[in-house]
Amino acid sequence: MSFDLAARLAARRADNLYRQRPLLESPQGPEVVVDGQPLLAFCNNDYLGLANHPQVIEAWRAGAARWGVGGGASHLVIGHSTPHHELEEALADLTGRPRALLFTTGYMANLGAVTALVGQGDTVLEDRLNHASLLDAGLLSGARFNRYLHNDATSLAKRLEKATGNTLVVTDGVFSMDGDIADLPALAREAKAKGAWLMVDDAHGFGPLGANGGGIVEHFGLSQEDVPVLVGTLGKAFGTAGAFVAGSEELIESLIQFARPYIYTTSQPPALACATLKSLELLRSEHWRREHLNVLIRQFRRGAEQIGLELMDSFTPIQPIMIGDAGRAVRLSQMLRERGLMVTAIRPPTVPAGSARLRVTLTAAHSEAQVQLLLNGLADCFAQLGPEPSHA
């Protein structure tokens, strides 16, 4: 018996679901070079335009000169450096919580938090559209795992009725493929009523949302009591890499003791923490970045509606254009690329079958003129492609 990998790959190609890695040959930003072609990109998550910021680059350079390059060991051995500690304190301050804990990636933060908090005999309840890392964490925890209808507090309440043991309710803050935000006040109300904890992965909310970039919890004015477990990633609006969990003293100490993805991995480079400290300072102080981003989001939505595109209910930088058919979405993405515009086609299994889309992401580094170029390109491509053939 052998693995027939060739057949699996051929089937994926036939279904228009084959993925390939574009090769970025320039720093991240609106104007990039991909596979040798200069493009105007609308597909990265660098929402505040900090990934290539001179001050952030200089902070990394200075950090490397002082602290070296590698973390050298896990945090619990001898890999927990002063820059890591200072960054944790700054992230705790951003979130208004006693403690924060650094992880190497967002995937590991989610796996670590869920599997440390619940296990056999417990219950995990997750939104149907949660990020893959959250779903994997729920399944790997060994707890009873169930999904509630997307952003539906009534559906959550019904599942809470049947929950056993310690119960963790898990949701994205901003849903990465739809751009809509979780109804946290309603979810928190249901969770608290049943003595469950609410965990929010606000990977796409930190930076764009909240008066000071504090994300969805700040946006709604919620407390640690409402959302005991708050996760954020540093590779999106912060423009660097890594992730964190913020919460109570007891939560963070418990993660240090029991979160296997935290315990058994080398710490991130200390210089990276130095860079993130600088980007966090810019995220909090340069309010114009959020304000400019919101202007662009309104401009895009207004223009897209005039063209007649089907948008989703999103006021965040994630602006999906619904297409439906995966092949059609890929064709549109290719047509845009021929015009020098890079917008990724998102297909199953990342999104449900029949809901393929172009996922536009806007950043504070884009200009209004660049957004208008995108709108012009979309109008041309949709006109050229014509209406979707009926399946009658």
Task: Show which residues are catalytic.
Answer: 176, 204, 236
- Residue 233, annotated as binding a ligand: yes
- For 183, 187, 196, 249, the CA distances from 222, given in Å and listed in that order, are 12, 12, 16, 18
- Residue 21, annotated as binding a ligand: no
Amino acid code (one letter) for 379 = A
Question: What gap in Å lies between CA 240 and CA 56, rounded to an integer?
Answer: 9
- Residue 262, annotated as binding a ligand: no
Question: What gap in Å lies between CA 22 and CA 347, rounded to an integer?
Answer: 16
Phi, psi of 56 (to 5 degrees): -70, -40
Give the sign of the dihedral formed by CA 104, CA 109, CA 111, CA 113.
positive
Question: What gap in Å lies between CA 359 and CA 104, rounded to an integer?
Answer: 26
Q: Which of 106, 111, 103 is nearest to 273 (CA)?
A: 103
Phi, psi of 163 (to 5 degrees): -70, 145
Contact 349, 16 (CB under 8 A): no
- Residue 204, annotated as binding a ligand: yes
- For 182, 272, 385, the CA distances from 357, given in Å and listed in that order, are 20, 34, 15
- Residue 19, annotated as binding a ligand: yes
- Residue 106, annotated as binding a ligand: yes
- Residue 292, annotated as binding a ligand: no
Residue 321 falls in which region: left (phi positive, over 0), alpha (psi -120 to 50) or beta: beta
- Residue 350, annotated as binding a ligand: yes
Question: What gap in Å lies between CA 196 and CA 218, rounded to an integer?
Answer: 21
- Per DSSP, the residues of 104-173 read SSHHHHHHHHHHHH--TT-EEEEETT--HHHHHHHHHT-SEEEEEPTT-HHHHHHHHHT--SSEEEEEES
Cis status of the peptide bond prior to 83, with omega within 30 of 0: no
Known binding positions for substrate? 19, 131, 350
Known binding positions? 19, 106-107, 131, 176, 204, 233, 350
